[in-house]
Amino acid sequence: MLRLGSICVAAGLLCVVAAAWGADGPATPDFAPAANVGWIAVGTEFLPPSSGPGPVMFDPAHPRVSNAEAAATGKQPTFHIGDVNSPILQPWAKEEIRKRDAFILAGNPGYTRQAACWPMGTPAFLLYPVQPIYFVQGPKEVLLISQQDHEVRHIHLDVPHSARVKPSWYGESVGHYEGDTLIVDTVGINDRTWVDNYRTPHTDRLHTVERFHMADGGKTLQVDLHVEDPGAFTTPWNAIQRYRRADGPIGESFCAEGNFNYFNYKVEPIPEAKRPDF
């Protein structure tokens, strides 16, 4: 049985119908069982693995309080203050996070990068918890579409990496299915991005492997992340991100048209193209 994916535009909304292929039904995980199924990340930090090296977390002296936690508890929300003592960090990477922490602790804002309309890169693409992502699953390619500014990741199925990969914001992703899991291998990520919202740096040697699979009877999408970068980290490390299901078609969301600095903070400028890409 073949169910073709389609993209339709109606009433200003982008509707995505994902595809699944199989002889007698879905033979691969179907991350979009209906046209309006999206997924919203549960938080802006990676979760640590059950054992072994994990991601940079918050500085114990400055615990992270998200907007959601602040709304539920009445606590003051905080910016991301990274733990410079994380054992995965090489000295230069520790220094980059230390400078970022000092900037915020001096009273400056520490907004996440997408607040200024910058591409998040890989793997930080997984860390935006406000607007959903959508899947389009085809026989040769899977698209990961973020409603936020309509950023798109292309995952080319069942092919090797290019002999020479040109660095880009999201790198070159190749993938394949193993049972109920979509495995995505990414290289060629430019060094203009950060690994996470603590602004953990990386080099152009960054290599990530993401394993997307369903959990909780289809109510949760989980991504098991593996990260390697011998230029920035002392060891490979693992992390987890989870998404909750959010039903509704993709809406129009253009960051630059609604980006305002109401507080007169020193914030990053919105990216501006100096020349066309075509």
pLDDT at 18: 37
- Any idea which residue has 């990414």 for tokens? 186
pLDDT tens digits for range 62-84:
999 988 888 899 999 999 999 99
Q: For every one of its 278 residues, what pLDDT tens digit does the chain have, with 9 covering 90 and above?
A: 233 333 333 333 333 333 344 444 445 899 998 888 999 999 999 999 999 999 999 999 999 998 888 889 999 999 999 999 999 999 999 999 999 999 999 998 888 888 778 889 999 999 988 889 999 999 999 999 998 878 899 999 999 999 999 999 999 999 999 999 999 999 999 999 999 999 999 999 999 999 999 999 889 999 999 999 999 999 999 999 999 999 888 888 777 776 665 555 566 777 777 887 66
Beta bridge partners of 225: 210, 239
Residue 53 tokens read as 């090296």
pLDDT at 13: 34
Q: Which amino acid is residue 14, in one-letter code?
A: L
pTM: 0.85
Q: Look at strands 172-178 and 152-157 and give their pairing.
A: parallel
Residue 121 tokens read as 């890169």
Strand ranges in the chain using DSSP code E only, listed in sequence order: 2-3, 6-10, 13-17, 20-21, 37-41, 133-137, 141-146, 152-157, 172-178, 181-187, 207-215, 220-228, 237-247
User: What phi-psi label fits residue 169: left (phi over 0), alpha (psi between -120 and 50 degrees) or beta?
Assistant: alpha
User: What phi-psi label fits residue 120: left (phi over 0), alpha (psi between -120 and 50 degrees) or beta?
Assistant: alpha
Residue 225's CB is within 10 A of a number of other CB atoms, namely 22
Annotated domain spans of the chain: 2-254
Pair 114, 125: CB distance under 8 Å: no
Residue 77 tokens read as 């929300």
Distance in angstroms (rounded) separating the CA atoms of residues 6 and 182: 20
pLDDT at 115: 78
Q: What are phi and psi of 264, to 5 degrees?
A: 60, 35
Pair 179, 208: CB distance under 8 Å: no
pLDDT tens digits for range 208-244:
999 999 999 889 999 999 999 999 999 999 999 999 9
pLDDT at 132: 94
Question: For 33, which DSSP code?
Answer: S
pLDDT at 261: 58
Closest CA to 208 of 186, 236, 178, 188: 186
Pair 209, 226: CB distance under 8 Å: yes
Pair 196, 124: CB distance under 8 Å: yes
Distance in angstroms (rounded) separating the CA atoms of residues 271 and 25: 44
